[in-house]
A and B are shown apart, each in its own frame.
Chain A
């Protein structure tokens, strides 16, 4: 158990809908990272937050957004969902400020768009 929690575990929704994925980092970790994993693209970095502020952006679509709250949990919002958004979404956290290469991953949310 990495100490990173993610909810929900599974999510099934229809095209065009909006969903919110939630992540709680390990106790004391200030940085949160979001990743998307699909069979053809592998694990892709989406976005990083450090202590409530956006720190780095990767291949995140404009339809996706994220935020980190004062209690350090983070949410990833996916809107106008398309079939191609079906994937595993992982959150990771790290201990060192402002970021660290050693990231600890949550169990993921499996999103299925039908």
Chain B
């Protein structure tokens, strides 16, 4: 069974601070997705990374896939209150099933 562990589970910071959240596994994934979910809504796809070592940037968000395709990180620069939400990573297996981590709940205080 492929498992994804996300850390930290909770993160509360002030507006303007930088942060990094992690997604780790002992399994190799074909791809890694990051989603953001707001309360009472469905997850929204932010990015997909597929190549070991790949780095993608989405405005103030930087996503990295580990060289061995077992882990990923999400770095947010100068966080804003609008970044508040549950950040989920999901690993893609060979049969296109996604395995989700339990998420990092980020609160950015104004």
Contacts and interface: CB of A to CB of B under 8 A. Distances in A.
Interface of A: 2, 4, 33, 42-45, 48, 56, 58, 90, 92, 98-108, 110
Given A90-B43, A107-B40, A107-B41, 10 more contacts: A2-B42, A43-B88, A45-B100, A56-B97, A101-B98, A102-B45, A102-B48, A103-B33, A105-B42, A110-B40
Interface of B: 30-31, 33, 35, 40-45, 48, 88, 90, 92, 95-103
Contact of B48 (A44, A99, A101, A105): A101
B31 A107 contact: no
Contacts of A2: 42, 44
B30 A42 contact: no
Given A101-B31, A102-B33, A45 B44 contact: no
